[in-house]
Amino acid sequence: MNARMKLAALVSLTIFTLVPAIAQSPGADTYKAKCQGCHGAAGMADTSVGKIFKVLPVNDPSVKKMTEPAMIDAVKNGMGKMQAFKDKLTDEQIKGAVEYFRTLGK
């Protein structure tokens, strides 16, 4: 019984240690640092800047129908009033931020 308790404790500790690390991806970090100011924490464009620039929320039909490559292109080269990030972020950071943003609409 003592060995089972130790095993259960070890499994629990492993799960509670790894889950936050897995949930917090580098894309999430990039999104929070570079995108959240306009697009909002939940992607709903509910920030003051998002409202001023009329940023569309992640659940808007026109945003939902955008492909990942189209979003990556928009981040790299800018779109509407959004600035281009091609000189500020790596391709990997842009892809990660887009992947994270797309999870917000689910």
Pairwise CA distance, residues 82 & 105, whole Å: 19
Instruction: Kindly state the DSSP code that residue 34 receives in the 8-state scheme.
Output: I
Mean of the per-residue pLDDT values for the chain? 86
Q: What is the pLDDT of residue 106?
A: 80
The Cα–Cα gap between 70 and 63 comes to 10
Stretch 59-69: mean pLDDT: 96
User: Quick check: 98 and 35 in contact, CB under 8 A?
Assistant: no
Distance CA 46, CA 43 (A): 8
Q: Angle 34-43-55 (CA atoms, 0-180°, nearest 5)?
A: 80
DSSP at 83 = P
How many percent of the chain have pLDDT more than 90?
75
Q: What is the pLDDT of residues 2-35, one digit of tens each?
A: 666 555 444 454 555 444 444 568 999 999 999 9
CATH of domain 26-104: 1.10.760.10
| Domain ranges for the chain | 26-104
